[in-house]
Amino acid sequence: MNLLKAMNRLTYTVSNGHKCNDADVDALNFVIEWVNMQKEERLHRNHHFAKLAMYIYNNLLPHYKGDNKFAEKEIMHILEVPLEHHYQRFKSLMDMYSLNGFFDAIGAQCTFWEMLEPGNKLDPEKVREEYRNNKEIFKNPENHKLFLEHLETNMYEMPEIHEKLNHFLSEILHRYEDKEHDLQWLLKYTNKEPKENGTTEN
**Residue 58, pLDDT score:** 93
What is the torsional sign of CA 100, 102, 103, 107? positive
- Looking at residue 155, the DSSP 8-state letter turns out to be S
151: part of which helix (H) or strand (E)? helix 141-153
d(CA 47, CA 53): 10
Average confidence (pLDDT) over 114-122: 62
pTM: 0.65
Query: Is 6 exposed, middle or buried (CB count within 10 Å of its CB: 0-12, 13-18, 19+)?
Result: buried
The listed range with the strongest mean pLDDT (62-71, 130-139, 145-154) is 62-71
Average confidence (pLDDT) over 43-60: 85
Contact 6, 30 (CB under 8 A): yes
Question: What confidence category does residue 202 fall into, taking pLDDT thresholds of 50, 70 and 90?
Answer: very low
